[in-house]
Amino acid sequence: MVHSEMAALGHEQVTHFVDEETGLRAIVAIHDTTLGPSLGGTRLLPYESEDAALRDVLRLSSAMTYKAAASDLDLGGGKAVIVADPEAKTEEMMRAYGRMIDRLGGHYITSVDVNTGVADMDVLREETEYAVGTSDGLGDPSPITARGVFSGLRACVETTYGIDDLEGRSVVVQGVGKVGRGLAELVLEHGAEVTVSDVNEAAVAAMVDELGVDAVAPSDVYAEPCDVFAPCAIGGVINDETIPQLECDVVAGGTNNALQERRHATELKENGILYAPDYVINAGGLITVANEYFGRSREAALADAEAIGDRVLDLIERAEDRDITVLEAADEYAEERIAAGERGEAMPSTN
Decide: 78 and 113 in contact? Cβ < 8 Å: no
Give 161's contacts (C-beta < 8 A, 6+ positions apart).
Answer: 169, 227, 249
Q: Is 171 helix (H, G, I), strand (E, B) or coil?
A: strand
Q: Which residue of the set 79, 89, 178, 269 is catalytic?
A: 79
Helix axes 91-103, 118-125, angle to 10 degrees: 60
Report the 10 Å Cβ neighbour count for 343: 10
Closest CA to 44 of 99, 83, 78, 88: 83
Q: Which amino acid is at 80?
A: A
Long-range contact set of residues 312-315: C-beta below 8 Å, sequence gap at least 24: 312/151, 312/152, 312/155, 312/156, 312/276, 312/280, 312/281, 313/155, 313/158, 313/159, 314/350, 315/277, 315/280, 315/350
d(CA 182, CA 180): 5
79 is catalytic: yes
Residue 216 and residue 184: Cα distance in Å, rounded? 14
Q: What is the sign, positive or negative, of the torsion defined by CA atoms of 9, 14, 20, 22?
A: negative
Show the beta-strand stretches assigned E in the chain: 13-19, 24-32, 38-45, 76-83, 108-111, 170-174, 193-197, 214-215, 228-231, 250-251, 274-275
Active site residues per annotation: 79
